[in-house]
Structure 1
Amino acid sequence: MKSIFRILLFAMAMTTFCVSTYAQKDSRQRMTREQLAEKQAKYIAKEMAMDDTTSEKFIATFCRFQQEIWALGPRPKRETSDRTDAETEQTLKERFDHSQKILDLRKKYYVEYSQFLTQKQIERVYKLEREMMNRLYYRSQKKKAYK
C-alpha cells in the first residue's frame, strides 16, 4: 500500500512539474504598443541606413506620431446590420471624421519629417511602414485562422 501511495505521489508531482514547465514555454510576453513602435522605427532607420543623429530624430518623431494615432482611438466599426438611413449617415460621418484626423496627423508629421529627411526618404518611410503594417495584419489573420 505504501509503494502504491509513493508511486501515485510521484506521478502527481511529475504531472504538476511537466504542466507548469509546458505553460511557461508558450507564455511569451507581448510587446507594448510603445515598444512595437520603437522597434518599427529602428527597423525603418536601419533599412534606410540613417546616420545616428537622423535615426534618433526619426525614432522620436515616429513614436510621437504613433502615440497621437493611438490617442484617436480605434477606427469606427463597419456594422452592416439593419440600420436606418440616419444611423448609416452618422456612422459614415464618424468614419470620415476619423479619417480626416488621421490625414491631418500625417500632414503634420510630414512637415516634421521634411526637416531632417529628403522627399524620397519620406516616401520610402511610408512604403516600409505600410509593408510592416500589412505583414502584421496578415500574421494576425493567420493566428485567427488557427484558433
Structure 2
Amino acid sequence: MKGINMKSVFRILLFAMAMITFCVSTYAQKDSRQRITREQLAETQAKYIVKEIEMDDATAEKFIATFCQFQKEIWALGPRPERIASDHTDTEAEQALKERFAHSQKILDLRKKYYVLYSRFLTQKQIECVYKLERGMMNRLYYRSQKGKTQK
C-alpha cells in the first residue's frame, strides 16, 4: 500500500471543512430557535399566571392582554440606571440617586395604573397572587442570568 496521495488529502480536508460548516450552521440555528422575544416571554409568563390562578377563559384573555401591555410599558422605561461607583463626586452621586428615584417612581406609577386595571376583572387575592408569581418568575430569571454570567 502506497502513501496517501495529495488528491486523497485534499478530499479529506474538503470533507472535514464541509462537516464543520454544516455543524456550525446547525448549532447556530438551534440557538436562534431557543431564544424567544420579550413579547413571547411576557405572554408565556401571563399564561403561566393564568394557569396557576385557574382563571376562566374570559378573565384569562383580559389578563394576558393587560399583562403584556404592562410589560411593554415597563420595557419602554429602559433599564434601571446604573449604581454610582464610590470614586465619583458628591454631585455625580446625587444625580445618579435622583435618576434611580425617578426611574423607581415611574415603575411605581405603572404598577398603580395596572393595579386599577387588574381590579376591574380580578379579585384582590388574585392580584396579590399575580404579584407573588411575577416576583418569583423575575427572581428565577435574574438568578439564571447571573448563573450564565459566571459560567462564561
| TM score, norm. by length of structure 1 | 0.91
Question: How big is the shift at 1:118?
Answer: 0.4
Partner of 1:44: 49
> Match for 2:93 among 84, 88, 91?
88
User: What one-letter code is carried by the residue in structure 2 that aligns with 1:88?
Assistant: A
Question: How big is the shift at 1:47?
Answer: 1.3
User: Does residue 75 of structure 2 align to residue 73 of structure 1?
Assistant: no
Q: What is the CA–CA distance in structure 1 between the aligned matches of 2:24 and 2:90, rounded to whole Å? A: 53
Q: What is the CA–CA distance in structure 1 between the aligned matches of 2:24 and 2:54, rounded to whole Å? A: 41
Identity of aligned residues (%): 64
Question: How big is the shift at 1:21?
Answer: 1.8
Question: How big is the shift at 1:49?
Answer: 1.1
1:38-60: CA deviation from partner (whole Å, max 9, x where unpaired)? 11111111111111111110000
Partner of 1:13: 15
Partner of 1:135: 140
Q: Secondary structure at the match of 1:101?
A: helix
Q: Is the 8 A contact 2:84 2:93 kept in 1?
A: no
- The answer for unaligned runs of 5 or more in structure 1 is none
Q: Secondary structure at the match of 1:28?
A: helix
Partner of 2:31: 28
Q: What is the CA–CA distance in structure 2 between the aligned matches of 1:19 and 1:143, rounded to whole Å? A: 27
> Match for 1:59 among 60, 64, 69?
64
Question: How big is the shift at 1:19?
Answer: 4.2
Question: How big is the shift at 1:12?
Answer: 2.4
Q: What is the CA–CA distance in structure 1 between the aligned matches of 2:42 and 2:140, rounded to whole Å? A: 14
Kindly report which structure 2 residues correspond to 1:105-116, keeping only aligned pairs within 5 A, or say none: 105-116=110-121
1:110-129: CA deviation from partner (whole Å, max 9, x where unpaired)? 00000000000000000110
Q: CA RMSD in A?
A: 1.8
Size of the aligned set, in residue pairs, is: 147
Structure 1: 4+ residue segments shifted above 6 A: none
Question: How big is the shift at 1:6?
Answer: 2.9
Q: What is the CA–CA distance in structure 2 between the aligned matches of 1:58 and 1:133, rounded to whole Å? A: 18
> Match for 1:117 among 116, 122, 125?
122
